[in-house]
Structure 1
Amino acid sequence: MKIKKLGDRGSAEFYERLELLMRKLKLMGLKGMECFHTDHTKEESMKLVEIAEKYHLHITEGSDYHGPEFEK
């Protein structure tokens, strides 16, 4: 949901451009897509699940843990 230059977050344009990107990345070997994240609304997560399923991608959930060097 934070990919730049896809349009306004959650808009039809955003999801259309995201799907184009997912198609390209799938051809390059993409295996999964983060669909659940604390910053996503339920509606956003469900739309991402729909896209992931359409392209047969593993559905993942973000923990946002990047290691001890990023702890506050």
Structure 2
Amino acid sequence: MSQPDDALVVAYTPVRGPRRRLVIRETEDGLVRREEEWTGCVWRPVGTETLDAVDVTDELPTAVLTKPE
């Protein structure tokens, strides 16, 4: 599972359904968020939207966060 080089990536595994990730990157049009779903072979785009801003906070206990596969 490769990661985009120039983006903020948050991958997660829901209780039900395949693994997903949010990919946020800056483009000529501004910030764009893309949601993708893991098919077992590739990341499949699910949806995109243009964002005004992104705020990142780190308030989760360390035990909740795990290393990517």
Q: TM-score range by the shorter chain?
A: under 0.3
Structure-2-length-normalised TM-score: 0.24
Structure with more strand by fraction: 2
* Structure with more of its chain in helix, by fraction: 1
